Amino acid sequence: MITEKTKRALQIIAKNSGIRPREFAKLFWPDKWMNGYSRCGNGVTKGGGYRLAAGGYLGKLAQRGLIRHYTDGYAITSEGRAAIEHSSVEAA
């Protein structure tokens, strides 16, 4: 069983094979992704916080076997497709 958030993330990845964390953040948090900041070197990067959060979330989905990381980005696995098709979404 997967949550509504996980199902939405998997649907985004299924439609955008080879997606990278920055593009995933734009699609997953369309209204918020540029509000986060992250520090890098001697400066601050706008939008970097959500990019980092997206990378962490994609990593967790990859650990569960729902997606896979390739050199050109993330792609959904057959387990991820089955999770979308057979999901009875639990309350998040």
Task: State how far the Cα of 33 lies from the Cα of 70, in Å rounded to an integer.
Answer: 24
* 49-90 pLDDT per residue, tens: 788 889 999 999 999 999 999 999 999 999 999 999 987 645
Does the domain spanning 4-85 belong to CATH 3.40.640.10?
A: no
**Inter-residue contact 62 to 68 (CB < 8 Å):** yes
> Any idea where the domains of the chain sit in the sequence?
4-85
Task: State how far the Cα of 39 lies from the Cα of 26, in Å rounded to an integer.
Answer: 19
Count of residues making up the chain: 92
Residue 29: per-residue pLDDT: 86
Task: State how far the Cα of 12 lies from the Cα of 27, in Å rounded to an integer.
Answer: 7
pTM, two decimals, is 0.80
Count of other CB atoms within 10 angstroms of residue 24: 24
* 8-31 pLDDT per residue, tens: 999 999 999 999 998 998 899 887
